[in-house]
Structure 1
Amino acid sequence: MAGYGGETTAARAPGDVIAGRYRIGGRLGRGGMGTVWRAADELLHRQVAVKEMHLPDAGLTEADADKQRDRALREARSVARVRHPHVVVVHDVVEQDGRPWIVMELVDGRSLADLLAEDGPLAPREAARIGAAVAGALEAAHHHGIQHRDVKPANVLIEQAGGRVVLTDFGIARVPGSNTISETGSFVGSPEYTAPERMSGRAAGPESDLWSLGALLCAAVDGHSPFHRESIGEIVHAVALGDITPPASVGPLMPVVRGLLERDPARRMAAAEVRTVLTAYAERGTEPPTPPLPTGPLLPAQAGAQAPAPPFSPAPEPPVPAVPPARKRGRVAVAALAVAVLAVVSGATAAVVVTRGEHDAGATAAVTTPRTVTTAPVPAARTPTTPPTTPTTPAPYPAGFQRITDPLGFSVVLPEGYARDPQPPRTYYWSADHSFRFGEREQPPGNAYEVMRAQDAAGPKVYQGYRDGVITRTVQHGQPAVLWQFTYDGFGDGRGARRTFDLCWTEGGRMYDIWLSAPLSRVEEERHTFDTARATFRTP
């Protein structure tokens, strides 16, 4: 098989055993720096993904071999430092025939790149959910001084069962205390998603990852990066000189995209802020506010940066105006930047990884589910039902839903056919097929966040196979609230794993806790039902 810089020294095939333990199955993906395989861990009896690092076939010096081993160790150490539900888990690093291999968790799903290619662009709300997860992963990585430096759709995985989002491929990450690939004088990365300061070879900090996230959000709702062009030179010009005009399809995400695609790194939104506003929109449809205009001087190298955009009005959605052109003096400065970028790129053409055809899957531990491809046109965007912008405003019931007024005094809109099942202090409502279970509980007022944290900590003892627990601060009925999401193995009735959405808040001197659980295979239907229940829930 072809590798980066030449043929790999040893062809692998299904059935081969690595390090006496990992038996290779099918190939999952291949990129410039490595090939990822499905494998069976014969010691622990679990499925994993193993990444084979590419080495040149001939002329490999000991120094070259050491460099490749250091690369593998750097990637493994990068991920091992960051324990976060949206960062891929590394289990082991082994060596076989002088070649390093990284053993990772197997994420059963597709990359965002594959999803966009096969299903088409996403609705803004789903893009926000994915973007919030990536922002959280970056926030955790940056906390440890690690810069990912290759955030793009091919390196974001979406788990098929529960929709979990995972950031992968830290192969060119900058790790404190170690040299990096790009410091040897060549550029490595994906130009369409690379920040201008990195392209030009200038010092780049964590803010560079946030620029990439802005481009990724645009790609999620529009199908491709706003800097997509036919040649490297055109991409460089778009990033360094062109008007930054996000696609109108970003809709209510425009303030976030504008805040991320700032040429001046000092003006970009921070990962924590991005995560907060995207989570709010993904969960309850609260549109991100237009960020305040930044103050302070521009960086000298960014004297030609574009002015902040005016506030975005989501309805109606006129074509997004181009950002006013920079002053002539700034054009000269940015033109010099473009020349520097072109020099870096032209001197390292072989090192630029541009995904065409098969997606770059250098660390993409994804299982591509076989599917039938048809020639029928796909919709421009999937449109899951979005709850009202203001949860306290009554909305027409979705088709097939009805309002239920419980004897305890609360009311909620649920699908028709739900039956009451009181189990004090909880009140349950079951769907007709006994797959969905809505629950409500009242208790004395308290700190909702602490309550959810305690339940999350007790999760492994209460729920068989408890995993993927995430707690998020939010708002309900104008009051501080907390949303807890998790997966567990289910009721033991043969229907498999379940996903739960649990919202807790204090209102009118009482603490309310409402939740919905459903089979993982129906998580999107569950999300719609929970959003409707949350938006229509009324206290006594």
Structure 2
Amino acid sequence: MGIVGGEGRLIGGRYRLEVRLGRGGMGTVWRAHDELLSRRVAVKELHFGADEPEARVQRARAMREARTVARIRHPGVIVVHDVVEQDGRPWIVMELVEGPSLAGRLRSGGPVAPREAARIGVALLGALRAAHTRGVLHRDLKPANVLMERGTGRVVLTDFGVAQVSGVTTLTDAGGFVGSPEYTAPERMAGGGTGPEGDLWSLGVLLCAALSGASPFRRDSLGAVLRAVVHEEIQLPEAARPLRAVVDGLLERDPRRRLGLAETERMLRGYLRSGRAPERGAGEPGRGRGVGRAAEAVAGSGGP
């Protein structure tokens, strides 16, 4: 768990903790002062369980996250400066993005305008292209992991803690599911393999959340979320209408029919230029409202 009263503590002989910025299931992020270079940074403290095997997995995940992000160079991807050891655990030192997450912005200000949603989408597509080119799948794209830099409007993708890297063994929590079910592609929910298309599904859910304030798969229980993602007809919010063709194409359950990155970017950029609702080109995928392959796989295994 996070440090109680950690403000003022020196980490790695260099980074002075100032204010806790946020806390999630896997870690706590602090604003800190780099006393060597006299700059502010963000420091991620990992939450380790008491069980030693679990702690080893968490240590390995922290190092993998740092290495994963360090290999991606893009203004839309968080920059990792350093990894230091303190109290037997690694702490990840990153650039400090001054501003709220998209989740915080939605909580405080409500849904964003369609043009702003499209701008955020284009920025995230650039970050995903840079990651996918390096063989990295984010696998946890959601509003809480998107930072909005105050004053510049820069959109920054962060938290690669559950990313999948080509050629690297995947780390899980005692064999359990890792990620955010509301934003996870149905093929992954069904236990199948996932590729870049999985991140694009998550982008479609994120655009819905940005436009309406909530994911279309929000339910009262995990089981209900799983059924909604894999089985139920997808009911898009009215607020998604200006970008409906994009969201429709991204929320195609069959990844073979899902909009690709280039097509999605073309449609969003076209909307930003013209203000006209995007339309699919003749060769671009449609969307089936039926159950699809992912649901069939789950049904064959006895359900979620």
TM-score by length of 2: 0.93
1:115-160, CA deviations, whole angstroms, 9 ceiling, x for partnerless residues?
Answer: 1111011111110000111111111100000000000000011111
Match of 1:289 in 2: 279
Q: Secondary structure of 2:94's partner? A: strand
For 1:382-461, list aligned pairs within 5 A. none
Give the aligned residue type for 2:236. P
2-structure distance, mates of 1:98, 1:331: 42
**8 A Cα contact 2:82 2:94, kept in partner:** yes
- Give the structure with higher Rg (CA): 1
Q: Which residue of 2 aligns with 1:129?
A: 119
Q: Cα distance, 1:172 vs. partner? A: 0.3
Distance 1:326 1:178, change over 3 A: closer
Give the counterpart of 2:21 among 28, 31, 35: 28
Distance 1:113 1:339, change over 3 A: farther
1:333 aligns with 2:299: no
Give the distance between the partners of 2:294 and 2:179, measured in 1 at CA: 26
Deviation at 1:162, TM superposition (A): 1.0
Contact 2:187–2:294 under 8 Å retained in 1: no
The alpha-carbon deviation at position 197 of structure 1 amounts to 1.1
Structure 1 residues 287 and 338, CA, compared in 2 at 3 Å: closer, same or farther?
farther
State how far apart, in whole Å, the 2-side matches of 1:85 and 1:194 are: 25
Deviation string for 1:386-442 (max 9, x for gaps)? xxxxxxxxxxxxxxxxxxxxxxxxxxxxxxxxxxxxxxxxxxxxxxxxxxxxxxxxx
The one of 40, 43, 47 equivalent to 1:50 is 43
- The alpha-carbon deviation at position 284 of structure 1 amounts to 4.3
Cα–Cα, structure 1 residues 156 and 338, in superposed 2: closer, same or farther, change >3 Å? farther
Matched residue type, 2:124: V
Residue ranges of structure 1 left out of the alignment (5+ in a row): 296-306, 310-322, 343-540
2:61 to 65, 71, 79: 71
Are residue 199 (structure 1) and residue 189 (structure 2) matched? yes
| CA–CA separation in structure 2 for the residues paired with 1:223 and 1:65 | 36
Per-residue CA deviations over 1:481-505 (Å, capped at 9, x if unaligned) read xxxxxxxxxxxxxxxxxxxxxxxxx
Quote how far apart the aligned CAs of 1:11 are: 4.2
Distance 1:293 1:276 in 2: 13
Per the TM alignment, residue 191 of structure 1 is displaced from its structure 2 partner at its CA by 0.8
After TM superposition, list the pairs within 5 Å mapping 1:217-228 onto structure 2: 217-228=207-218
**Which residue of structure 1 aligns with residue 137 of structure 2?**
147
Mark the CA change 1:277 to 1:194 in structure 2 (over 3 Å): closer, same or farther.
same
Aligned to 1:213: 203
Name the structure 1 match of 2:8. Answer: 15
* Deviation sequence 1:52-110 (CA, Å, 0-9, x none): 01112x342xx544322211111111111111111111111111010110000000001
Q: Superposition pairs for residues 147-296 of structure 1, below 5 Å?
A: 147-182=137-172, 185-292=175-282
Equivalent residues of 2:253, 2:291 under 8 A apart: no
Shift of 1:286: 4.4
Q: Secondary structure at the match of 1:266?
A: coil
State percent identity of aligned pairs.
57
1:308 aligns with 2:284: no
Structure richer in strand, relative to its length: 1
SS across alignment from 2:152: coil
Q: Is the 8 A contact 1:124 1:251 kept in 2?
A: no
1:103 maps to a residue whose letter is: V
- Note closer, same or farther for the CA distance 1:158–1:210 as it changes in structure 2 (3 Å cut): same
Change (3 A) 1:73 1:258: same
Match of 1:403 in 2: none
Mapped contact 1:236–1:338 kept (Cα < 8 A): no
Deviation at 1:334, TM superposition (A): 5.5
Consecutive aligned runs of 4 or more in structure 1 exceeding 4 Å deviation? none
Structure 1 residues 337 and 144: alpha-carbon distance in aligned structure 2, compared to 1, 3 A threshold:
farther
Unaligned runs of 5+ in 2: none
* Alignment pair present for 1:98 and 2:77: no
Following the alignment from structure 2 to structure 1, what is the Cα–Cα distance between the partners of residues 180 and 7?
A: 30
Please state which structure has a larger fraction of its residues in helix.
Answer: 2
Partner SS for 1:101: strand
Q: Output the CA distance in 2 between the equivalents of 1:42 and 1:165.
A: 27
In the alignment of these two chains, the number of paired residues is 304
> Over residues 470-526 of structure 1, what are the superposed CA-to-partner deviations in whole Å (9 max), with x where a residue is unaligned?
xxxxxxxxxxxxxxxxxxxxxxxxxxxxxxxxxxxxxxxxxxxxxxxxxxxxxxxxx
Deviation at 1:250, TM superposition (A): 1.2
Q: Secondary structure of the equivalent of 2:29?
A: strand
